[in-house]
Amino acid sequence: MREHGVEVRVVRPDREGVLRPEVFEGEVEGAKLVTLTHVSNVLGSVNPVEEITRLAHEHGARVLVDAAQSAPHLPLQVEKMGCDYLAFSGHKMLGPTGIGVLYVREECLGELEPLCLGGGTVEEASSSGYSLTVSPERYEAGTLPIAEALGLGEAIEYLERVGFGALASHEREVVRRLQKGLEGIKGVEVYGPSDPNRRVGIVPFNVEKRDPHEVATLLDRSNIMVRSGHHCALPLHREFLRLPGTVRASVYLYNTLEEVERLVGRVEEIVHGP
């Protein structure tokens, strides 16, 4: 974007990985677009989207929210959040890959140019030009991913049947036990919010004197699946955490407290192992 003359300002989170509205206030003057993540995919920290959106609108800026990590875990009320755009992926909601959702506030539909043009995106077309439709279809060019759309629809209906309240209650207990268990191991450092109630589904950690990939490999051999590395967030690791990477343990509605105990026990063995 900088190559096209766009000025990009980066707002840094606090020590627990949360974006603070008062920090945004010093950067939002003159901004056209404020974009932020609802929940960090590295730390699990939840950002105050409503407050930041209100602040951005007071300065005349539009707001784009990345909800890929929050949509599967939290009930999204876009009208209450007040954002202009919101996007999330399908696969993190137990749906198929290759599909996602973009919410656009109705009054903003005509402002955003579609990335691709094709059948269904135009109101009129001729050899001399075209005019785009103002409906959501302007962003859905050509043949749609039909199977993926059906799969995502079923996944969303399943989550609604489970209930986001029940899901969140279960997840909070699992995260609390996971965070407490890892923090109780000498030689393990946990990152992100100190209060597990301010964290959604993710607990990143490192083992002293062990590379994150090594820890993940050892856990994998015990049939415990975690992710290691930068988690598609290299600047956050290098500039904020100042780490080469982390081990990320993620939990969801299908994880149990017994599985948490297995993970914590295996990490303790790794700490004391060769």
Q: Choosing from 83, 108, 116, 232, which is the catalytic residue?
A: 232
Residues 211 and 191: beta-carbon distance below 8 Å: no
Q: Is 116 a catalytic residue?
A: no
Who contacts 246 (Cβ-Cβ below 8 Å, separation ≥6)? Answer: 42, 191, 204, 205, 206, 212, 228, 229, 231, 237
- Cα 256 to the center of its chain, rounded Å: 22
Who contacts 6 (Cβ-Cβ below 8 Å, separation ≥6)? Answer: none
CA distances from 2 to 64, 71, 112, 205, 240 (A): 18, 30, 19, 34, 22
Give the position of tokens 């951005």.
56
Active site residues: 232
